[in-house]
Amino acid sequence: EDLVVRTADGSRESDSSGLLSLILPFALGLFISFALMSASSYLLRAVTDEKENRTIEIMTTSVSPKEFIVGKAAGLVGVALTQVILWGVVVVAGLAAVAAFTDALSGIEIPWGLVGVLAAFFVPLFVLAVALVVMLGVVVADSRQGQQLVGVVNIFFLLPLFFSPFLGSNPDGPLMVFLTLFPSTSLLTVAVRWSATVIPVWQLIAAWVILVACAGLGFWAAPRVFRQGMLRYGKRMSLRG
């Protein structure tokens, strides 16, 4: 009962009853990241399967590469949001059940500011992930190679977890700032740092602008890569085209 949890910069502290309020931002960011990666893996399998069974050739007779990617992204957003909502309902129901029988959650505070920030980061990050996955799907020769590559790509989304020990010593250090500004790690790093320090507003704005720019670049490049690789049945693309 004498436990006091204080952030590294000393700006916030909480007793043991409010410990969950400090853990919640990290859990929320991790939850969204896993939902995004799960949806991306599903899209990769869909693209590679359609390339292998030649369905893409039929689809491209009636839609353009840009329309194909927009349609895939829209459908995937629906799948991801449905998954997030279902998981959220389960978590809320579980917390409500715990709160009904114990006072352990009496000090928890929902970080609505973080929820809004993560929502703003989620959309462009999702677009970037879709663009990367579509390009991987048309570049590789089959789904097995695609699964191997998407595993490597997912590591770039989870890099903040590998550097989480730095939160206790220097959450505002150059490494954590870099991960905040780096497009694929921005969302999870913001969630991780939110529970440990006060993130400067300029870093949040700069990270969001960089992420939106990279998402736009990826959305511009994906149809062009798709156009080059959609008819390469069983072949891997090269830089020469």
The pTM (predicted TM-score) of the whole model is: 0.77
Mention every residue, 6+ apart, whose C-beta is less than 8 A from residue 172.
8, 9, 193, 197
Closest to 230 (Cα-Cα) out of 37, 63, 78: 63
pLDDT of residue 207: 95
Answer yes or no: are the C-beta atoms of 179 and 160 closer than 8 Å. yes
Burial 70-89 (b: 16+ CB within 10 A, else e): bebbeebbeebeebbeeeee
Length, in residues, of the chain: 241
Measure the CA–CA gap between 84 and 89, rounded to whole angstroms.
9
Q: Which residue type, as a one-letter code, is found at position 232?
A: R
Question: Residue 65 is encoded by which pair of tokens?
Answer: 């590469």
- The predicted-structure confidence for 165-196, as pLDDT tens digits, reads as follows 776 667 888 988 999 999 988 988 888 888 77
Q: What pLDDT digit, counting tens, does each position of 7-52 carry?
A: 555 655 655 555 565 677 777 777 777 777 777 777 777 777 777 7
- In sequence order, the β-bridge partners of residue 14 are 5
Which value, to the nearest 10 degrees, does the dihedral of the CA atoms of residues 206, 208, 210, 211 take? 160
- DSSP-H helix ranges across 158-230: 159-162, 166-169, 174-181, 186-194, 201-229
